[in-house]
Each structure stands twice: as C-alpha cells, then as structure tokens.
Copies of this chain bind each other. A is one copy, B any other.
C-alpha cells in the first residue's frame, strides 16, 4: 500500500521539503501533496485565467474557488492530513482544512509552536498527533508505515 499524505498550512518555510526528504531517505512509499505554495499565483489564479474583477472580494473568490479544486481533491484522497500553523498571519485556511479533513475522517497531524497551544486547542483535540517540529512527522510516518521506531528493534 502506498500512503497519500497532504501537507496543508504555512508556506513560508521549507517544512514540506524537510518531511519529504526524511521520508524519502527512509524509503517509504508515500505520495505527498500540498496546496499551490506560490503565494502570488495562489492569490491571482482566478482573475489571471477567468478575467479581472474590480472588487477584491470577487478577485479572491475566483482564486479561492480554483484553489479549492486542487485542495478538496487532494484532501479527499489523503490518508493523513498534516497541518502546520506558522508564527504569523491568521491562517484560517489551515484551520478550515483541518476541520474539513476531520469531518471526512482523515487522520490529522498538527504542527505548531508552543505559543499557539491554547488558541489551537480545538484543532489539536481533533488530531491524532500534535508535533512541534517537522521531523516528528517524518518519524510518525516511518513508524506508522514501516513499523520502525528508533531505539526499538
């Protein structure tokens, strides 16, 4: 069995590459997916393809809808959905993805720093693991997929 893992949330650090590299090194059969992480393209895709809008609300609506074609399909195919909350911004789309994945019965892993612990309590409570560093997610995947846990043989 090959596992599908969707990496949602924060797009300003290279946490996705960290996980993917570690998982690849471990030789696991994982197919990673993610939202479009080019911030400008993600904001403008709707109007760039379907035509400009005067009103920012509809500019954003057109973009968000096209992004949803990707996002929904990938979350629905995922076995595990990882959501990382960064230090900055509102990141409501990350929390939305977590709720969406949770209602679909996906296994959720949340990554965030200690500063967000209380504010994310409902999101964390819906997760099967709450990590603070990306490499922990790689460790979880290695254990879950390959039964490997460092120090236990």
Contacts and interface: CB of A to CB of B under 8 A. Distances in A.
B128 A40 contact: no
Interface in A105-144: 105, 107, 109, 116-126, 128-131, 136, 139-140, 143-144
Interface in A2-58: 3-4, 31, 33, 36-38, 40-41, 44-46, 48-50, 53-58
Given A45-B143, A69-B129, A69-B144, 6 more contacts: A1-B77, A44-B149, A57-B130, A90-B119, A91-B92, A92-B95
A80 B69 contact: yes
A99 B63 CA distance: 18
Q: How large is the interface on A (under 10, 10 to 19, 20 to 34, 35 or more residues)?
A: 35 or more
Interface string A96-108: 1111111111010
Contacts of A99: 95-103
Contacts of A45: 143, 149
Contacts of A129: 46, 49-50, 62, 65-66, 69
16 contacts: A1-B77, A3-B73, A38-B152, A49-B143, A53-B55, A55-B58, A56-B118, A60-B117, A61-B121, A64-B125, A67-B122, A68-B125, A69-B107, A92-B119, A96-B123, A96-B126
Contact of A58 (B4, B46, B58, B150): B58
Contact of A70 (B58, B77, B125, B144): B144
A126 B68 contact: yes
